[in-house]
Amino acid sequence: MLRRVEEKELSQIISARKEGEPLDLSNCLFENMDLSGWDLHGICFDKSDFREVSLDGADLSGCSASNAFFKGSSLRDVKLTDAFLHTADFRYCNLSGADISGADIFAAALHGADLTGVTADERTKYYYPRCPMEGAFIGWKVCFGRRIVQLLVPKDARRLQGTTFEIRVDKAKVLSVRTEDYSQSFTEAHSYVDENFWYRTGEWVRAESFDTDRFTESGGGIHIWMDRESAIAYLG
């Protein structure tokens, strides 16, 4: 259960904080607050909820907000440099002008978020696509019965990648279908998600409705991974 923290209490905690002192405000609920411009750097907000909170211009640099929830909150011009934001939920939040330089946003949910003018750099982890954005490449996926499918993504295929290892493409050619231990080969396999979507050796597969929002992780497309091990690990 989350511990509700009121704005007055939070202000007192921040005011009493000594220079360099770590603060743990994980598993807390912050609701209907205006924290615009507040200095919240280096605080642990893991698994906390920010509901209808204004964090515009706030300093959250170096904070940890793993699995935190920001429903309905505004984070315009927020400073998130070097923040740890694994699986943080920013869906439909206003992040325009946010600075995420050096932040780690692995698996952060950004679908529908306003990312206009976001500042990122070469240290920002998982914000920029890691898959080849030009040219052909090999991809992998696991189908029903744990059949491992090897795919050739052609140079003219559309491809997108969000904040995870998963990639979505609009077409690919099936090169092989094998068991995990390579002991058997097959001529076909079908998707776990859509049993009517088949992958047949030597044939092309195409996504009829390709979602062009790269941050829609479950959007339309052929979902693949860059290496065989990652595809297998996805299903556990």
138-191: pLDDT as tens digits: 999 999 999 999 999 999 999 999 999 999 999 999 999 999 999 999 999 999
Burial class (CB in 10 A: 0-12, 13-18, 19+), 100: buried
Q: Where are the domains of the chain?
A: 1-128, 137-235
Burial class (CB in 10 A: 0-12, 13-18, 19+), 197: middle
Q: 71 and 89 in contact (C-beta within 8 Å)?
A: yes
Say how far apart CA 178 and CA 188 lie, in whole Å.
9
Structure tokens given for 192 = 């776990």
Helix, strand, coil percentages, rounded to 5, for the chain: 10, 30, 60
What pLDDT is attached to residue 29?
Answer: 98
1-128 CATH pick, 3.10.20.30, 1.10.3720.10, 2.160.20.80, 3.30.300.30: 2.160.20.80
16-40: pLDDT as tens digits: 998 888 999 999 999 999 999 999 9
